[in-house]
Amino acid sequence: MASILHVDPSPRGDRSKSRQLAKKFIDAWQDLHRDDVITYRDLRQTPVPHVTEDWIAASFTAPEALTPEMTELLKFSDELVNEFLAADRCVFSVPMYNFSIPSNFKAYIDQVVRVGRTFTEEDGQVKGLANGKKVLFITSRGVEFEAGSPYEGWDSQEPALRYAFQYIGVSDIQFIHANGLDMGGGAKTGARRSTI
Protein backbone atom coordinates (compact mmCIF):
# COMPACT_ATOMS: atom_id res chain seq x y z
CA MET A 1 0.00 0.00 0.00
CA ALA A 2 1.36 3.40 -0.99
CA SER A 3 0.45 6.94 -0.01
CA ILE A 4 -0.08 9.26 -2.97
CA LEU A 5 -0.39 13.03 -2.84
CA HIS A 6 -2.37 14.51 -5.75
CA VAL A 7 -2.22 18.30 -6.13
CA ASP A 8 -4.22 20.33 -8.67
CA PRO A 9 -3.07 23.97 -8.96
CA SER A 10 -5.07 25.09 -12.00
CA PRO A 11 -7.41 27.98 -11.16
CA ARG A 12 -9.80 26.64 -13.79
CA GLY A 13 -12.40 24.15 -12.61
CA ASP A 14 -13.78 21.35 -14.76
CA ARG A 15 -12.55 23.13 -17.92
CA SER A 16 -8.94 22.59 -16.88
CA LYS A 17 -7.09 20.19 -19.18
CA SER A 18 -4.42 19.45 -16.58
CA ARG A 19 -7.09 18.55 -14.01
CA GLN A 20 -8.88 16.30 -16.52
CA LEU A 21 -5.68 14.47 -17.43
CA ALA A 22 -4.62 14.00 -13.81
CA LYS A 23 -8.06 12.71 -12.84
CA LYS A 24 -7.91 10.10 -15.60
CA PHE A 25 -4.46 9.06 -14.42
CA ILE A 26 -5.48 8.84 -10.75
CA ASP A 27 -8.68 6.93 -11.59
CA ALA A 28 -6.71 4.41 -13.66
CA TRP A 29 -4.09 4.13 -10.91
CA GLN A 30 -6.75 3.44 -8.27
CA ASP A 31 -8.27 0.72 -10.44
CA LEU A 32 -4.92 -1.07 -10.38
CA HIS A 33 -3.87 -0.21 -6.80
CA ARG A 34 -7.03 -0.29 -4.72
CA ASP A 35 -5.23 -0.24 -1.37
CA ASP A 36 -3.28 2.94 -2.08
CA VAL A 37 -4.33 6.00 -0.12
CA ILE A 38 -4.83 9.22 -2.11
CA THR A 39 -4.52 12.61 -0.41
CA TYR A 40 -5.96 15.33 -2.62
CA ARG A 41 -5.23 19.05 -2.44
CA ASP A 42 -6.95 21.57 -4.70
CA LEU A 43 -5.03 24.85 -4.71
CA ARG A 44 -8.04 26.54 -6.28
CA GLN A 45 -10.06 25.79 -3.14
CA THR A 46 -7.21 26.32 -0.65
CA PRO A 47 -4.99 29.07 -2.11
CA VAL A 48 -1.36 29.12 -1.05
CA PRO A 49 -0.09 32.47 0.23
CA HIS A 50 3.07 33.91 -1.24
CA VAL A 51 6.01 34.19 1.11
CA THR A 52 6.67 37.47 2.89
CA GLU A 53 9.69 38.95 4.64
CA ASP A 54 8.29 37.88 8.03
CA TRP A 55 7.67 34.34 6.72
CA ILE A 56 11.25 34.09 5.45
CA ALA A 57 12.59 35.24 8.83
CA ALA A 58 10.44 32.64 10.60
CA SER A 59 11.47 29.84 8.25
CA PHE A 60 15.17 30.51 8.97
CA THR A 61 14.65 30.66 12.74
CA ALA A 62 15.57 27.62 14.83
CA PRO A 63 12.44 25.76 16.02
CA GLU A 64 13.22 26.41 19.69
CA ALA A 65 13.51 30.16 19.03
CA LEU A 66 10.21 30.58 17.18
CA THR A 67 7.80 33.07 18.68
CA PRO A 68 4.06 32.27 18.73
CA GLU A 69 3.64 34.72 15.84
CA MET A 70 6.33 32.96 13.80
CA THR A 71 4.80 29.57 14.52
CA GLU A 72 1.47 30.86 13.26
CA LEU A 73 3.10 32.24 10.10
CA LEU A 74 4.58 28.79 9.34
CA LYS A 75 1.46 26.80 10.24
CA PHE A 76 0.13 26.37 6.69
CA SER A 77 3.61 25.71 5.33
CA ASP A 78 4.11 23.01 7.98
CA GLU A 79 0.82 21.42 6.89
CA LEU A 80 1.96 21.36 3.25
CA VAL A 81 5.42 20.04 4.11
CA ASN A 82 4.03 17.30 6.38
CA GLU A 83 1.58 16.25 3.67
CA PHE A 84 4.34 16.18 1.05
CA LEU A 85 6.82 14.26 3.21
CA ALA A 86 4.17 11.71 4.24
CA ALA A 87 3.54 10.72 0.61
CA ASP A 88 5.47 7.94 -1.11
CA ARG A 89 4.48 9.30 -4.51
CA CYS A 90 3.21 12.66 -5.73
CA VAL A 91 1.14 13.56 -8.77
CA PHE A 92 1.12 17.24 -9.65
CA SER A 93 -1.08 18.43 -12.54
CA VAL A 94 0.50 21.65 -13.75
CA PRO A 95 -0.75 23.79 -16.64
CA MET A 96 1.75 25.93 -18.47
CA TYR A 97 1.18 29.66 -18.10
CA ASN A 98 3.39 31.95 -20.19
CA PHE A 99 6.02 29.26 -20.68
CA SER A 100 6.28 28.40 -16.98
CA ILE A 101 4.09 27.44 -14.02
CA PRO A 102 1.07 29.16 -12.43
CA SER A 103 1.97 31.55 -9.60
CA ASN A 104 -0.03 29.53 -7.08
CA PHE A 105 2.09 26.45 -7.75
CA LYS A 106 5.25 28.54 -7.42
CA ALA A 107 3.83 29.69 -4.06
CA TYR A 108 3.28 26.00 -3.15
CA ILE A 109 6.91 25.19 -4.02
CA ASP A 110 8.12 28.18 -1.97
CA GLN A 111 6.15 26.92 1.05
CA VAL A 112 7.46 23.34 0.67
CA VAL A 113 11.13 24.06 -0.06
CA ARG A 114 12.03 24.74 3.57
CA VAL A 115 15.40 24.76 5.28
CA GLY A 116 15.40 22.23 8.10
CA ARG A 117 12.30 20.53 6.73
CA THR A 118 12.94 19.47 3.12
CA PHE A 119 16.60 20.43 2.83
CA THR A 120 19.57 21.24 5.05
CA GLU A 121 22.82 23.08 4.53
CA GLU A 122 25.99 21.42 5.76
CA ASP A 123 29.43 22.96 5.19
CA GLY A 124 28.03 25.17 2.47
CA GLN A 125 26.42 22.21 0.68
CA VAL A 126 22.69 21.68 0.24
CA LYS A 127 21.35 18.24 1.18
CA GLY A 128 17.79 17.31 0.19
CA LEU A 129 15.62 15.53 2.75
CA ALA A 130 12.87 14.21 0.44
CA ASN A 131 14.85 11.21 -0.78
CA GLY A 132 13.14 8.05 -2.00
CA LYS A 133 10.02 9.86 -3.17
CA LYS A 134 8.60 9.55 -6.69
CA VAL A 135 7.13 12.63 -8.36
CA LEU A 136 5.07 12.74 -11.55
CA PHE A 137 4.13 15.99 -13.28
CA ILE A 138 1.20 15.88 -15.70
CA THR A 139 1.33 19.08 -17.72
CA SER A 140 -0.92 20.76 -20.25
CA ARG A 141 0.62 23.12 -22.81
CA GLY A 142 -0.90 25.21 -25.55
CA VAL A 143 1.89 24.79 -28.09
CA GLU A 144 4.62 22.36 -29.14
CA PHE A 145 8.16 22.64 -27.79
CA GLU A 146 9.82 19.88 -29.80
CA ALA A 147 12.98 20.43 -31.85
CA GLY A 148 12.12 22.42 -34.94
CA SER A 149 8.97 24.00 -33.51
CA PRO A 150 8.72 27.81 -33.35
CA TYR A 151 8.89 27.52 -29.53
CA GLU A 152 11.87 25.19 -29.27
CA GLY A 153 13.88 26.19 -26.19
CA TRP A 154 11.09 28.31 -24.70
CA ASP A 155 9.98 25.72 -22.11
CA SER A 156 10.70 27.14 -18.65
CA GLN A 157 8.16 24.84 -17.00
CA GLU A 158 9.92 21.48 -16.90
CA PRO A 159 13.34 22.84 -15.86
CA ALA A 160 11.83 24.94 -13.05
CA LEU A 161 9.89 21.97 -11.68
CA ARG A 162 12.74 19.50 -12.08
CA TYR A 163 15.35 21.71 -10.38
CA ALA A 164 13.09 22.71 -7.46
CA PHE A 165 12.31 19.11 -6.56
CA GLN A 166 15.85 17.85 -7.20
CA TYR A 167 17.03 20.54 -4.78
CA ILE A 168 15.03 18.91 -1.96
CA GLY A 169 16.29 15.42 -2.76
CA VAL A 170 13.77 13.98 -5.22
CA SER A 171 15.66 12.04 -7.88
CA ASP A 172 12.79 10.04 -9.42
CA ILE A 173 10.96 12.74 -11.41
CA GLN A 174 8.82 12.01 -14.46
CA PHE A 175 6.80 14.17 -16.83
CA ILE A 176 3.78 13.48 -19.00
CA HIS A 177 3.34 16.49 -21.29
CA ALA A 178 0.13 17.13 -23.20
CA ASN A 179 1.45 19.50 -25.87
CA GLY A 180 -0.27 21.59 -28.52
CA LEU A 181 -3.65 21.83 -26.81
CA ASP A 182 -4.34 25.25 -28.36
CA MET A 183 -3.26 24.24 -31.84
CA GLY A 184 -6.46 22.50 -32.92
CA GLY A 185 -6.91 18.95 -34.09
CA GLY A 186 -6.67 17.52 -30.58
CA ALA A 187 -3.75 17.20 -28.23
CA LYS A 188 -0.43 15.96 -29.44
CA THR A 189 0.92 14.18 -26.43
CA GLY A 190 4.48 13.51 -25.56
CA ALA A 191 3.18 11.05 -22.99
CA ARG A 192 5.57 8.54 -21.58
CA ARG A 193 4.74 5.40 -19.64
CA SER A 194 4.81 6.19 -15.95
CA THR A 195 5.60 4.02 -12.98
CA ILE A 196 4.93 6.36 -10.09
Q: What is the predicted pLDDT for the residue at 182? A: 60
13-21 average pLDDT score: 90
Pick from 43-47, 148-152, 164-168: least confident: 148-152
Q: What is the predicted pLDDT for the residue at 192? A: 42
- Is the model's pLDDT at 187 over the cut of 70? no
pLDDT confidence bin for 136, thresholds 50/70/90: very high
What's the CATH number of domain 3-190, 2.60.120.260, 3.30.360.10, 2.40.170.20, 3.40.50.360?
3.40.50.360
Cβ-based neighbour number of residue 129 at 10 Å? 15
pLDDT confidence bin for 196, thresholds 50/70/90: low
pLDDT confidence bin for 98, thresholds 50/70/90: confident
Q: What is the predicted pLDDT for the residue at 13? A: 83
pLDDT confidence bin for 183, thresholds 50/70/90: low
Q: What is the predicted pLDDT for the residue at 83? A: 98
Task: For residue range 101-130, list pLDDT tens digits in order.
Answer: 999 999 999 999 999 999 999 898 999 999
The three-state secondary structure class of 3 is strand
pLDDT confidence bin for 58, thresholds 50/70/90: very high
Hey, where are the domains in the chain? 3-190
Of the candidates 9, 29, 31, the one whose C-alpha atom is nearest the C-alpha of residue 19 is 9
> Which stretch of DSSP H or E encloses residue 37?
strand 37-42
Q: What is the mean pLDDT of the chain?
A: 91
Q: What is the predicted pLDDT for the residue at 146? A: 78
Q: Indicate yes or no: pTM above 0.95.
A: no
